[in-house]
Every structure is written in C-alpha cells, then in structure tokens.
Structure 1
Amino acid sequence: MLVTGAAGFIGSNVVQELLDHQYSVVALDNLSKGYKSRLPRDVTFYEADITNSETQRIFQLEQPDYVIHLAAQTSVLNSMENPVEDCRANVLGTLNTLKYSNQFNIKKCIIASSAAVYGNPSVFPVEEDSKLCPLSFYGLSKVSAENYVHLYEKMFGLKSCILRFSNVYGSNQESGVISSFLNRLYKGKAPIIHNGSQTRDFIYVKDVASACLSAMVSHETGVFHISSGTEITINEVYKLISKSTNIEIEPLLKELDAAEIKRSVLSNQKARRLLYWEPGYSMEEGIGEVIQSYNLVKHL
C-alpha cells in the first residue's frame, strides 16, 4: 500500500487507519508541508516528490498493490498567487501517480479531490454529477487531475475512485477555519471571520481516513463525495467552538473574498450506498476531539 502525501494532515490519519487494519504501508512525502514525526517509526518512508521521476524507482522497489494519492497543493489563496506551482503539484503529481500505477500494475488508485470543483452551485445538496465550475486555480487543477484519472481508466483500465472531500478538519491541522479559530482563541486574539454567512460541509479527518479504506477495498470505481451531508454557517461554527472552549472573544469581521464559495453541502448518499461508508463523527464530537488534543499539547 503506497500513500502519497503521507506525512500531511490527512495522509498521516490515512496511514494510521491502514495500520489499524493490519495493512503494510509505504509512505511518500516531500515534507514541504508534512512532518515525518506524524508517522510511526516502523513505517517505510521515502522523502520524495511525486512530480519527479525519482518516484518511479519507489514504485519499482516496493511494488505496492494499491495507491492512495493525497499529495497536493491545497490552498486556494496560494493557487491564485502561483497557479503554475499549483498545476505542477496537483495535475502533474496526479499524472505521475497514474503513469506509474499503470506501469506497475496497481490494482486500484484512490485519488483525493475537492468540493472546490463545483464553484458556486445552484442546486443543493450537490450530487456527483452536478456541473463543474471552479472559481479558483486550485479547483481547476482538481478538475484537470480528475480528467486524467477518467481517461487512464478508459484507455488503460486503471481502476480508480475519485473522492471529493468537503471541508476536512481535525487535530494537527495547520490551515482551515476551525484551526484558525482555535489558534487565535487560545492566544487571546479575536478570530477573523470573512462575512460568516457562507456555509460549509465539515467532515472529520478520521471519517475521511475510513472512507479512503472503504474505497480501496470496494469493487466500485468512479466519483464519490466524502462529506457529512450537513450544512453549517461559519458564524455557527465559531459559536460552537466558542461554547466548547468557554472562550468568548468578539470576532473581527471582514469582506468575503471573490474566489470564496458562498454555499457548500455535498450529498454523501452514493458513498453510503456503494462504498458502505458513513461518517461516524458529529460536528460536536469532532470539535471536541480537536479541542482535547489542543489541551494535551498545551500541558506537555
């Protein structure tokens, strides 16, 4: 089992999920954003960039049966400032993964995508066959990567599942609205809210990890939403975090960025029906675990 982006926030949780189910894992990460310390010491680890040809040697040496491809550039803001690097990481990285997976007879690829491919849809909840209309270069890079996945399956029979994640959150996350709120609250600073009426569909990272495993063992291929299927405003998220931490600080309100999606909620019925997966954490439970991990770190 090869996991790319394995030392990242989502990747390290996926690695742990696989280990918990007795799978042998090979971890690959260029450590540009990830940390090797997130991974168990006994996991075979390669510091390598999936966009470089050096990864061909790793496929050849390790001969994995499956690939879970999570390595990516994930910042919408960074994609707008540096679209070439975003394309290199997300499109070329995926293309290399597919190329080597096909070359070395991988049984199945699990490819991470995003709700950002939809832009601002008009019908909710969003279904997997809804129109793709990205508002950022990040979203566009994910659409382009998905097209390569579809064509590799059509032309070469490379089996794959594309998992479009909604807004993932969890412990040890370094970006995202929930980690931003908590970081500022614990430092006694006012959280920054851009408008606040925009909605998101938050999914706990451990549920994402279990979804990757479910997709891997399933005979199904195609596109699946990995989401809670629940819509919540950013203002409501802040109220929940403030209540859970018992810290009340009046937030700073700013205007919403033009590339920001105004409303997002993804139907997860297809994944429930075909992958036999469902989220196990409510928003309250997930945030509770995140806060608990913050408190543990504070007392170390």
Structure 2
Amino acid sequence: MAPVPDDDAARTGVPEGTLHLPLSPVRADRIRWFGVGATFVAAVALLVAQGTGYAATLGVTLVLALAVAWGWPLLSGSYTPMASTVALALSSVAIVLSALRQDLLWVPAAVAFGVLLAFFGQLVRRTGREGLVLTLLSAFGGLAVIASGTTAVVAANTDRGQAVAVVAMAAVGAAVAVDLLPGVKVLAPFLGLVALAVSVVAALVAAGFFDEVNALEALGIGAAVGTVSWSFRRVLSLQPAMLTRRGQVGSGVGSVLVVGAVVHLFSVLK
C-alpha cells in the first residue's frame, strides 16, 4: 500500500518530501513577483491605516495577521500546515484584538492561548509525530511575528506613534525595491547595504512631513526596520515554499509585521 501523505501536505501544491529541502542559491536568487507585491501592499496598507487612526490600524493588522497564518506554516516547514494554519488563525484574532487595551496587558495571555492551540493540534494528530518539534517551532515563530505586529497597533493612539509608524512603513516599503535586484551579480555582496540605504532615505523623506520625528530618529527607525524586514525575507528565500504564492505571502507579509516591536519601541521613546 502506498504511504499516505502526512496530514495536509498533499494539498499544498508542492510534491511531498520537497517542503523540507532548501532551494539552491541559484533558484533562490530570483524575483518573486507575487511576494514583492504582497510585501509592498502590506506596507502601504499599514502606512495608510496608521495615518488614519487606531480602528483602521487594528483592522488592517488583523487582516495581515490572518494572511501570515495562511502562509507561514507552509513557508516554515510545518508537517501539518492546515492544522497549524487553523491554530494561527484563531490565535491571530485573539492576539490582535488584545491590542484593544493600550497597555498591551492581554498580549502575553493571547500568545499563551496560541501556544496551547499549537500543542493541542499535535495531540489530536492522527498520523504520528513526524516533524513534531519543527511543526511546533513553526507555530511559535508565527505567533512571534503576529505578536510583534500587534504591538505596533497602539502606536496609532498618539501623534508621535502615528508618525513613527508611517516613517517605519515608508522604510519597509522602500526596502522592497532591493528584492528586485537579486539577479544583479555586481550588487549581490552589497544587497544588505543597499536595503539599509534606501530604507534610511525613505524614512528621512517621510519624517519631513511630521514634527514628532526628527532626522536622527528617522535615521534610526529606517535603519532598524528596513534592515530587519529585508533580512527576514532574505533568510527565508531558500525555503522551498518560496516557489508557491502561499509561501511568498507568508514571507512578505511576515516581514512587515515582524518590525512592529521596533515601531512600538520608538513610539514610546522620547
């Protein structure tokens, strides 16, 4: 009898057994147009939402968190992508809505709820325990990304927080341009520096529209979020799921939410 594919792996669109084998650098260094678009749209959506206000930011963050819940398990090599997606989706609602409290007091409890869901999903698994640790780590990584994005929601409650968030998303959006350069061999060793440079420039330009963020702060914000966001996508570029749109969404949208903690930090610093 032929072996049955583990859980939902057969539904992912990638042949069984390839989800856990890294891509070669040649295959990784390609422009992933869908991923580029997803990253840019996510950054612009958050930029506009943060400039609009708290309610819009909460709504957009929830949508992006659900997008991460859909794409992250496949991208990170979960052996039960469908079960992990369900757990992350339910956790996303709890985590993002925990930002209804401006002090973020409920965020740790919401993340703990997500951890319990991840374990429960493995307890009811009917196909053995292959890849158990990797699957749990995949879920925990997704929870961390979503929680980080959630911490930036409360920035929309203050003028300074809004300014910091808009400057940060401008830098993240600008860094996406570097994703179009992997085929330029002469720039290959310097892509990180290019991402840093364009992020800082974009942050400085955006900061010019606000009184709450000075040039030095904009430089720090742009350097931090731009580098982190681009590096996040770069590290994941060897993941086999990057050949799929689902994986590209997980990487792109995740790279936007993951800088939320940085946004929150700069928004409370004076």
Q: Greater strand percent: which structure?
A: 1
Give TM-score, length-normalised by structure 2.
0.32
**Structure with the larger RCO, 1 or 2 (CA within 8 Å, 6+ apart):** 2
Between structures 1 and 2, the one with greater helix share: 2
TM-score, structure 1 length as denominator?
Answer: 0.29
